[in-house]
């Protein structure tokens, strides 16, 4: 197994700006890798049978940074991948825009794909990032750690 060197093998980014996919690709690209797997999580126009206008993400960033680092280290240890980059957006994310980028490089494709899929599952399980979906007729929070939809029983208008 390769020695863990966080500074040269892991790239993490949480911010309000549009994510730069090329930053992740460039980071994980190296001469030791025959495979790069990339996942992009984009805002789609519908969910739960409703038309989505946009999404908004909130994060408890100090803990989210630690949990993303934990996930990246788990990926390096479990699959012996070469490099990993995880970027997550916060704030308003319009339709078609990317809210999550995961890029993984490894010697072979199976490890890259497996590690990439694992990261997405783990992010939803343990990273304190929450998604709010905005519809034409209201909005709901969707809990990232459990996949549970949180919909208030009564709607409050604060205008």
Average pLDDT over residues 3-9: 71
**Domain ranges for the chain:** 6-49+59-129
- The model's pLDDT over 86-111, given as tens digits with 9 standing for 90+, comes to 999 999 999 999 999 999 999 999 99
* pLDDT tens by residue, 21-64: 999 999 999 999 999 999 999 999 999 889 999 999 999 999 99
State the pTM of this model: 0.86
More confident residue, 132 or 156: 132
- What is the dihedral sign for C-alpha 129, 122, 82, 62? positive
Residue 66: burial class (beta carbons within 10 Å; 0-12, 13-18, 19+): middle
- DSSP string spanning 4-65? P-HHHHEEEEEESSPP-HHHHHHHH--TT-SEEEEEEEE--SEETTEEEEEEEEEE-HHHHH
* CATH 3.90.1170.40 for the 6-49+59-129 domain, yes or no: yes
């Amino acid at each position: 197994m390769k020695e863990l060197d966080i500074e040269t093998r892991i790239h993490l980014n949480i911010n309000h700006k549009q994510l730069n996919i090329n930053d992740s690709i460039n980071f994980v690209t190296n001469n030791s890798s025959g495979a790069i797997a990339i996942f992009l999580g984009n805002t789609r126009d519908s969910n739960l049978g409703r038309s989505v206008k946009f999404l908004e993400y909130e994060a408890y960033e100090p803990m989210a940074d630690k949990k993303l680092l934990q996930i990246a280290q788990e990926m390096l240890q479990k699959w012996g991948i070469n490099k990993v980059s995880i970027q997550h957006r916060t704030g308003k994310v319009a339709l078609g825009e990317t809210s999550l980028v995961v890029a993984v490089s490894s010697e072979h494709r199976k490890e890259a794909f497996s590690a990439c899929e694992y990261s997405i599952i783990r992010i939803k399980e343990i990273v304190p990032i929450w998604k709010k979906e905005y519809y034409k007729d209201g909005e709901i929070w969707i809990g990232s750690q459990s996949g549970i939809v949180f919909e208030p029983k009564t709607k409050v208008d604060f205008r």
